[in-house]
Amino acid sequence: MTTTFAFIFPGQGSQFIGMGKDLAEAYPAAREVFEIVDASLQQDLSRLIWEGTDDELKLTANTQPALMAVSLAAIRALQSEGVSLDQAAFVAGHSLGEYSALAASGAIELADAARILRIRGNAMQAAVPAGEGAMAALLGATPEQAVALCELGRAEGGICEIANDNAPGQIVISGSKAAVELAASKTGEVGIKKAMMLPVSAPFHCSMMQPAADEMMSALSDIEIKAPVVPLIANVTAAPTSDPAEIRGHLIEQVCGQVRWRESVEFMVSQGIELTVEAGAGKVLSVMNRRTAKEIEGLTLGTPEDIESVAKRLG
């Protein structure tokens, strides 16, 4: 019996030193991905990924192309085992993972994806001076409670917006430091258990990122986007699209827009998705998805052993 599945691609926070090295050693197709990314960035990024320091890898401008490279290496390794990407019903990625999804599905060339993510990482880092923005995770909050809390945070004129709706009870807010800290101090007023300030370098996915969105509009106008071989479930709409112009627009909106991951998973389930295959580093999304839909099975695609077992399952 055929399983209806989607390929999903992780975002920032999943990275670790050494990720993807065993894939590159085991699969020539995976090794080639790292070679193309290194050449397109004119940097030995693969060496940084495998032998560098956490601090280097954590720099947004390195993290973004690095995670995409590992995701694509996993996909190419799986393809070399005879699994075709168009066996999936959808692709979806969390934040920068959306670029990995588009590269995997043939909508963006691998070298272009690496270059655009380097630009995106630098632009997001530069959009807000250090120390002026903040993000906080709300534990046990509903979307309605998060909206109410953001209103309290904005009471003194700062920016406070929902950045990520990841899963039930797992919402992240983003904005100006004063407004997010004010919101975090008022969780009890709207019935939220707790807010945890996050150790991030910038307030991602909020309107303070507008300078980065403007830069991405310019950068994305220079690259070709084709229709993906299977529809992409976009972060900003939680709905499928295969239209290149629409995809380009969504990628620009995504810089300031909310990552609607919970709704994306709910949409997948509504379309009969029984299984997700998380391509790349770690299993953050697979664990998160179970909070949204207990019935959805999650497989990971990060090691040669994973490649073999997933190829057997999907073959």
Per-residue pLDDT of the chain (315 residues; tens, 9 = 90+): 578 999 999 999 899 999 999 999 999 999 999 999 999 999 999 999 999 999 999 988 999 999 999 999 999 999 999 999 999 999 999 999 999 999 999 999 999 999 999 999 999 999 999 889 999 999 999 999 999 999 999 998 899 999 999 999 999 999 999 999 999 999 999 999 999 999 888 899 999 999 999 999 999 998 999 999 999 999 999 999 999 999 999 999 999 999 999 999 999 999 999 999 999 999 999 999 999 999 999 999 999 999 999 999 998
Domain boundaries of the chain, sorted by first residue: 5-127+209-314, 133-200
Q: Which of 71, 95, 105, 264 is catalytic?
A: 95
pTM of full prediction above 0.75? yes
Give residue 201's pLDDT: 81
Give residue 3's pLDDT: 80
E strand map for the chain: 5-9, 90-93, 133-139, 160-167, 170-176, 194-197, 232-233, 240-241, 275-279, 297-301
Q: Is 250 a catalytic residue?
A: no
CATH 1.20.1070.10 holds for 5-127+209-314: no
Same topology, domains 5-127+209-314 and 133-200? Answer is no
CATH superfamily of 133-200: Malonyl-CoA ACP transacylase, ACP-binding (3.30.70.250)
Q: Which of 105, 205, 250, 286 is catalytic?
A: 205
C-alpha distances in Å from residue 97, one per residue of 11, 185, 240: 5, 32, 15
**Cα–chain center distance at 244:** 19
Q: Is 95 a catalytic residue?
A: yes
Give residue 134's pLDDT: 95
